[in-house]
Structure 1
Amino acid sequence: MLYKFVKIISSIVSMLPQAVRLNIGNLLGEVCWLLVPSKRKTMAVNNIKRSLDADTIQATTIAKRSATRFGRMFMEVLYMPKLSKDNISKYVQIENSQYLKDALSYGNGVIMATAHSGNWELFGAALAMYGFPVVGVAQKQTNADMDRFMIETRTMAGMHITYKSGVREMVKMLGEGRIVGLLMDQDAGRDGVMVEFFGRLASTPQGAAALARMKDAPIIPAFITANADGTHKAILHPPVWVQKTSSREDDILSTTQQLTDIVEQHVRKYPHEWFWLHNRWKHSPNK
């Protein structure tokens, strides 16, 4: 029932002018902020103050913008079925796409390391519509209807989707010369490696470095950011290679730190677009 309802809403949203979609998204975002628990808001504000050396007013503004943008993101996801390879350039422009093309030319596949910044759902879909062989690594939704809608939306864009548990499939996809996209900016608990992020140790996913080392694949750090007019820009960075030594652990740690530094640089530039409401330093030994 929920699946059909969301499909209907998506169809209605797809008929609306962009300005109307943006306004509705902004309104939904304001509601979203009101629903955030005060404890979560306080955590986000304190992390912003500590990370960016911001005062309380500045930090609160960033935290609110970080939350309210989800209203616009939701509208953009609902509109995604209307996007195609014929019109994607009107909504998303790719900066430095040659980095990705060159990385693919090595023939070992590519790891794309990205973050929960900007509309990451739109990012993968846009790359696929531009003709890149993208494999999206998804978190299975707790609601089966929403999971079905999200997987359908992603595959319609041309992406191949696997769940986080599908490590063997990721290895297989790399062997086929595809791009495996991994989000690497959330607390990884006991499974992560401790690297510095904004001056504090943070448990960080090691999948990007581990897979790249295993398959001798380049890693392309990449992000998406929103423009004032509602369009988006995808930013690709030069490839990062895992330096293979006799110590696998050291190789993964150093590469993960290098990638995390790039994520930090992006967040510093676009702080309002990052997901500050997530407790990134939950398992940090120096909270």
Structure 2
Amino acid sequence: MTAKSTTVHLFEYAALKIALAFFHLLGLDRASALGGRLARYLGPKLGISKRARANIRRAMPDLPPAEVERILAAMWENLGRTIGEYAHLERFGHPGERHRIEVVGAGALRAMAAEGYGGVLVSGHFSNWELLPLVMRLEGLEGGEVYRHANNPFVNEWMVSLRRRATGGATQIPKGGAGARVIVRLMRENRFVAMLTDQKMNDGVEARLFGLRAMTAGAPAGLAVRYNVPVLPVGIERLEGARFRVTVYDPILANPEAEPFDEILRITQEINDFLEARIRARPHEWLWLHDRWSVKPWQRRRYGSEEDGSVE
């Protein structure tokens, strides 16, 4: 790391800490509301909103322009609320705040844990996605969460520490080889691992999302096939303000008699189908800012692309 990049990272980190200190002083509900209002006003004016608009149109081409803008503005409001809520993430786990998170299907999770089983919880960047591993703690599930290393090392260290405190010490698993070894250990110990699988993974599995080719993480399906554990799809909805509903859906199970790679493809597609259904139901609560569907030149040569008509 150069001296210049270190200075930039420190400045970014200081700005983040100041903003979060301000949000902390406001209290959870006011921080969520103010963050939402600011982001709803500023977000659509930012250049990155061009990508979000393009993603919405590509996924749902029949939407009128006014509906695209409505979804975009509401997406930014949800994102702003989530940022404001970061200053209070630990509070969601306090007994006095338990009313803020309604968990549907928690009984099945507790039963699995009580019987000594583990599993892979999968979701996407819905509503406040940081609540997924926190719900694991609330329901007594032991394990960890997979995270993407932030570009800013100071921010990354702070985020890992915050998540660890909020989840009561859940194992923080970075993406990559070192993280993969941790996941294998947790699977062998019959623990639970939470993953967000809605971002593009260039070296992942080719699946479909909104009918478009989407390179997708194959890890959840691979774990299901190798360790015979269920994949548990989880939806997260914002009910009102800083209140949420987390729903655990029916598990996706691997067929031990099937060819392993075929099973990985099937399960990965089922996960994407689940994500698409949740996005269609509440498009304003998904983070449309990801570069989800673009392909690299080597992928275009290998697979073709929708744009040139060389794939179905």
Q: Same fold (TM over 0.5)?
A: yes
Q: Is the 8 A contact 2:32 2:241 kept in 1?
A: no
Shift in Å, 1:114 = 0.8
Q: How does 1:13-162 map to 2 (within 5 A)?
A: 13-29=23-39, 30-37=41-48, 39-50=50-61, 53-105=62-114, 107-157=116-166, 158=168, 159-162=170-173
- Whole-Å separation in 2 of the counterparts to 1:42 and 1:218: 35
Describe the shift of the 1:124–1:42 C-alpha distance in structure 2 as closer, same or farther (beyond 3 A). Answer: same
Offset, 1:181: 0.8
Q: Structure 2: give runs of 5+ residues left out of the alignment.
A: 1-9, 296-303, 308-312
In the alignment, the residues of structure 2 paired with residue 247 and residue 71 of structure 1 have an alpha-carbon distance, to the nearest angstrom, of 44
Shift of 1:19: 4.0
Q: CA deviation at 1:34?
A: 2.1
Write out per-residue CA displacement over residues 238-286 of structure 1, whole angstroms, 9 at most, x where no aligned residue: 1111112352210100111112111111111111111222232213832
Match for residue 188 of structure 1?
201
Structure-2 residue corresponding to 1:268? 280
Count of aligned residue pairs for this structure pair = 284
Q: CA deviation at 1:88?
A: 4.0
Q: Give distance in 1, aligned partners of 2:182 and 2:124.
A: 21
RMSD: 2.2
Considering only CA atoms, is the larger Rg found in Structure 1 or Structure 2?
2
The residue that corresponds to 2:6 in the other structure is: none
221-230 or 19-28, which deviates more: 19-28
TM-score by length of 1: 0.89
Structure 2 CA distance for partners of 1:60 and 1:149, relative to 1, 3 Å: same
Separation in structure 2 between the aligned mates of residue 276 and residue 41 of structure 1, nearest angstrom: 5
> Are the equivalent residues in 2 in contact too, given 1:219–1:240 (CA < 8 A)?
yes
TM-score (norm: length of structure 2): 0.83
User: What CA distance in whole angstroms lies between the structure 2 residues aligned with 1:214 and 1:240?
Assistant: 14
Provide the C-alpha distance between the structure 1 equivalents of 2:305 and 2:261, rounded to a whole number of angstroms.
Answer: 20
Gaps of 5+ in 1: none
Measured at CA, do residues 258 and 102 of structure 1 come closer, stay the same or move farther in structure 2, by a change above 3 Å? farther
Distance 1:4 1:57, change over 3 A: closer
Name 1:172's counterpart in structure 2: 185
Range 14-23 or range 259-268, more displaced: 14-23
